[in-house]
Amino acid sequence: MAGPDTPSGKKQWRPKKPLPPPGPDGVVLLSGGNPQIPKGEGDAPVQAYIAAMPGWKRAVGERIDAIVTATVPDVHKAVKWNTPLYGRPGEGWFTSMHCFDHYVKVTFFRGTSLDPIPPGPSKQKDVRYLDIREGDDFEADFTRWIRQASRLPGEKL
């Protein structure tokens, strides 16, 4: 039976959509407005990611970073897979953030061990999410969760 693309019914190969052009700062925003930042260890790549977060999400990213840094003074930071990660040196990652169209998603890798449990479910047994939308007052719960999460075994990624 013939399909819409070819007489044989097989899909015709089409090239992937090209990445959007870089913004004025040279950073490409991927789907959902997530900054494309090269992989790297330390504070500098995380700060580059935050600086490239679009619109109101930048202030959320700055606040997340400030809370994590103040709550966990020896925090280890990195960017992998266009996602800032926070952990304890040598112990793994306890949280990360990622931009989407209408919110910033925070991942707690051991979220089911937190009290109260963050609201966002996951297909992964231990993971829970917090979706922060423009204007959300998230700081009190977030600070409590970071304090707890940083004391749990980290995720090795």
* pLDDT tens by residue, 79-93: 999 999 999 988 999
User: Could you tell me the end-to-end alpha-carbon distance of the chain, in angstroms, rounded to an integer?
Assistant: 46
Residues 6+ apart with CB under 8 A from 44: none
With 0.75 as the threshold, say if the pTM is over it.
yes
Asked if the structure places residue 14 within a domain, the reply is no
Residues 6+ apart with CB under 8 A from 125: 112
* pLDDT tens by residue, 83-141: 999 999 889 999 999 999 999 999 999 999 999 999 999 999 999 999 999 999 999 99
In total, how many domains does the chain have?
1
Asked if the structure places residue 7 within a domain, the reply is no
Asked if the structure places residue 17 within a domain, the reply is no
